[in-house]
Amino acid sequence: MTLGTGTDFEAGAAGETQALAENRVTLRQARRDFLVALEPVRASVYAYCRSLTPTVWDAEDLLQETLTKALAEASQRYEPIRNTQAWLVRIATNTWIDSLRRSSRVTLEWTESALDLPDDGAADPLEALAVESALRQLLHLLPPRERACVVLKDVFSYPLAEIAEILETTPGAVKSALHRGRATLQAARTGSAGPSPATLAPGTRAAVQHPRHQALLRRLAAAFNAYDIDAMVSLFLASGRSEVVGNATETGHEEIRTGSLTDTFGPDAAEIHRSTVHHFDGEDIILMWEQQKNAPGASEVVSDVLRVRPAFGTPLVAELKWYFFCPEVLAEVAGGLGLPFKTNGVSYF
């Protein structure tokens, strides 16, 4: 998928001045540069988000919200950022905890009742578990702050003082949370504990989708495979949205037609695309396969993951999300399905 800057028509948009149009172009470029600058730590920050959230989609949402907040915070900072990864982890943690507070489903309290516990001498339950399995245990078994502490200490090896700074608490409170979290995981490993519904993060989705949702997805995939842009557009609400996650949003039929759909399926596209519908983590999704036009003998690879949010009460698309610039999502979804895939960086250009 490719997308132009669109500066020719943007300046004439209703209610927008030339100065605002030019500023938006400058801001988009600054955001792209910002995303590229964070690429060296992005995978680790995503892994941290994934350890806190129940699904790959929630992890990507948390990562995107973290990056948006980080860009805003960076624009207001004069002092240097000493540790970029720790800075992003702090923003991600606060964003995640805020979402839990809003859900009113958990109590977020610190305690320093275990100040005398050693921080490094305790047995690490993660040593006896595969990391992926351990993260799943963390998701279901640990309260939010304990979960964050154990992930930061036992998965990412952060020192106590830095964890305390990230979580805005004291080393003693971190030590206490580690003790409780490790004990819970140890009990889980020996079969003496089970998941508590009260500790589940918001966003857990049911594994069953309505048949009309599945039919809509298949109609959209069929339109993709037919390269029928009119048919694609007709499947959207008049006010529907198409979002290239982290990079571009389009609202309404005309923006969607002239934006991502034409850039992907129009005659000037450099790739040949094919779409297939798959079931992943409780929902149906579309995978976009790609082959270069100038390399007909090359193998197809998955280059994009698409999710549809259907409109309420009508078989139309309210929102389509393209995860083209989400390398971790591509790796987890396509890799999890055992399919060949390619990643595309984190931004246009």
Residue 313: partners with Cβ closer than 8 Å, 6 or more residues away: none
Hey, which bits of the chain come out as E strands? 236-244, 248-251, 271-280, 283-292, 301-310, 317-322
Say what the pTM is: 0.77
Residue 264: CB atoms within 10 Å: 23
Whether the Cβ atoms of residue 60 and residue 326 lie closer than 8 Å to each other:
yes
Residue labelled with tokens 């730590």: 41
Closest CA to 275 of 230, 226, 317, 233: 226
- Strands 317-322 and 236-244, by their bridges, are parallel
pLDDT in tens, 200-254: 443 444 445 667 888 999 999 999 999 999 999 999 999 999 999 999 999 999 9
How confident is the prediction along the chain (349 residues), in pLDDT tens digits per residue?
555 544 444 444 457 888 888 888 888 888 899 999 999 999 999 999 998 888 999 999 999 999 999 999 999 988 999 899 999 999 999 999 888 777 655 555 566 554 444 454 444 444 444 455 555 555 567 888 888 888 888 888 889 988 888 887 888 888 988 888 888 887 776 765 544 433 444 344 444 566 788 899 999 999 999 999 999 999 999 999 999 999 999 999 999 999 999 999 999 998 999 999 999 988 999 999 999 888 777 899 999 999 999 998 789 999 999 999 999 999 999 999 999 999 999 988 6
Closest CA to 59 of 92, 102, 94: 92
Task: In whole angstroms, give the CA distance from residue 22 to residue 14.
Answer: 15
pLDDT in tens, 175-193: 988 888 888 887 776 765 5
